Homo-oligomer: A and B are copies of this chain.
């Protein structure tokens, strides 16, 4: 059997269930970051993200933005867990016949982005390959009370997002702003029940929250904020790499948040019993079960 038949998530699950960790691992694979024991008040966060030429970018893209993206994806993961990014290491495989100018721009993109978010680039590895592969591993820190996971959504919670969704392929996937400021504002001021960043599409990433929290959800079509570049609702639901935050709050917290920051955050649905599954509600209040699909590598 080929791995393409098992699918990306099938293969990951097959691996994950064989892993055994010691008790210092608060949360292993399966969230945006691993959560590790650190000290009395804090956890350490640890995440990695690999981007590959021809999949996540092409040689026609600005190399500065390729470097930018590699760093920004990991910052977004740390933000999704409510944390502060601190250190990263960078592995780069690149063709021997690349120009120094091209490599310089990739590195400038990484350096500027790391600098803007106060992340230290502390090491790396360089290798030769026909196609560029860039892997960033990042460490962060989060106060125990601020840790946000995918697994704590509760029935009755309001589902919210930052920004607008869809159409990322037209450029946002290389230029997105990791929602670190927003995530820290949320965890410092509210009790964030569940949080994830939208990397594989709203529906697929919401599914991770629903699966891990063992709940269902209603999404209201009219409330889903479409980006200017979105080619309709389906694009906002299923296309990947928006890198916006998707999170749930108690109704009380949601109300308080939307009062304080009505332009930054949008309520798009609510958490319901698992038996309801995930349903999309249209303007006429008709609801349909949603197919779970989104970006998959295979």
Residues of A within 8 A of B (CB): 1-6, 8, 11-12, 14-15, 18-22, 24-25, 28-29, 33-34, 36, 39, 46-52, 54-56, 86-87, 89-94, 96-101, 103-104, 107, 111, 115, 118, 120-131, 133, 135, 137, 139, 297-298
Contact = CB atoms under 8 A, between A and B. Distances in A.
B11 A121 contact: no
Contact of A297 (B29, B104, B107, B127): B127
A64 to B, nearest CB: 14
Nearest to A298: B96
Given A1-B99, A6-B100, A125 B49 contact: yes
A99 B135 CA distance: 24
Nearest to A108: B18
A135 B24 CA distance: 23
A56 B129 CA distance: 11
A126 B8 contact: yes
Contacts of A297: 96, 126-128
Contacts of A21: 120-122
A19 B111 contact: yes
10 contacts: A2-B100, A4-B96, A14-B100, A18-B111, A21-B121, A24-B120, A34-B87, A47-B123, A50-B92, A125-B135
Contacts of A104: 14
Contacts of A55: 127-129
A105 B19 CA distance: 14
A103 B4 CA distance: 11
B50 A125 contact: yes
Given A3-B96, A49-B125, 6 more contacts: A1-B101, A3-B100, A5-B100, A25-B122, A34-B87, A129-B131
Given A21-B120, A129-B133, A137-B137, A103 B3 contact: yes
Contacts of A94: 3
